Amino acid sequence: MIQDTISREAARRYYDRLGTYQDWAGHFEGRAKTRALDLLAPPPGCRVLNVGVGTGKEHVQIEAAVAPGGVAVGLDVSPVMLRLTRARTGTPVCLGDARRLPYANASFDYLFAAYVLDLLPAPDLAGLLHDFRRVLAPGGRLVLVTLTEGVTRPSRAIIALWKLLYAISPEGCGGCRPLQLTDLVGQAGFRLARREVVVQWGVPSEIIVAENRS
């Protein structure tokens, strides 16, 4: 696994600049996110935290699913991304870091994070997953989507090329590199319910569904 990634400030700058162009990634991430939202399936009335909410494209669907009576909160490190989410939704948004969630224990029933953990430094991931578990209620559901290792010949070739580009310029790849998260999720005290890999245009994405055991 590649260990390095970009700093929080570099990520903020990158995603502030990227703005609505982030939605273009839907061409190779869209299918995995649609599947992940199906697996999240938050019912009306529940509380959802969407970490690294981005432009709010998926958040619109989460907001609709929890109505009436629920709340869908979007957190992001990029003020531009939060502005785009606010323009699309009426939900609360929060400028913050995925690694230091500003919420009390058991504040949410569901936590969704798509293509965020793959931007963060490997040494931060164990602590981050413990914090995700802390803010989830007992029995709460975690759904993660990340770039992952290839599972077919084309996807293995694309990931090999991606790693080459990443080695030259992590910033050029938006800090994103492939991850495999099942072990870390288990070590953080979650019960792994499901793992799937979705490949779109040769790009492999891992979907993890886990439950907070505490």
Ligand X SMILES: C[S@@+](CC[C@H](N)C(=O)[O-])C[C@H]1O[C@@H](n2cnc3c(N)ncnc32)[C@H](O)[C@@H]1O
CA distance 46 to 158: 38
Shortest spacing between CB 47 and ligand X, in angstroms:
18
Could you say which of 28, 108, 115, 190 contacts ligand X (CB under 6 A)?
115
Which position among 32, 48, 73, 114 is part of the footprint of ligand X (CB under 6 A)? 114
52-111 residues near ligand X, rule: CB under 6 A: 52, 54, 57, 76-78, 81, 97-98
Cα-Cα-Cα-Cα torsion 43, 114, 206, 186, nearest 10 degrees, comes to -70
Q: C-beta of 191: minimal distance to ligand X in Å?
A: 24
Query: What residues form DSSP beta bridges with 76?
Result: 95
**Residue number, nearest CB to ligand X:** 54
Identify which of residues 22 and 148 has a Cβ nearer to ligand X in the complex.
22
Binding residues for ligand X, rule CB under 6 A, total 19
Least distance (Å) between residue 13 CB and ligand X? 10
Shortest distance in whole angstroms from residue 106 CB to ligand X: 21
d(CA 30, CA 50): 16
CB of 153 to ligand X, least distance (A): 26
Q: Which residues contact 15 (CB under 8 A, 6 or more apart)?
A: 22, 54, 76, 77, 78, 80, 81, 174
Calpha distance 93→76 (Å, rounded): 8
Residue pair 102/96 in contact by the 8 Å Cβ criterion: yes
Please report the sign of the dihedral spanned by the C-alpha atoms of residue 131, residue 50, residue 31, residue 67.
Answer: positive
| Comparison of 117 and 188: residue with beta carbon closer to ligand X | 117
Q: Output 9 or 153, the one with its CB closest to ligand X.
A: 9
Question: Residue 39 has which token pair?
Answer: 């697996």
Interacting residues with ligand X (CB under 6 A): 8, 11, 15, 22, 33, 52, 54, 57, 76-78, 81, 97-98, 114-116, 119-120
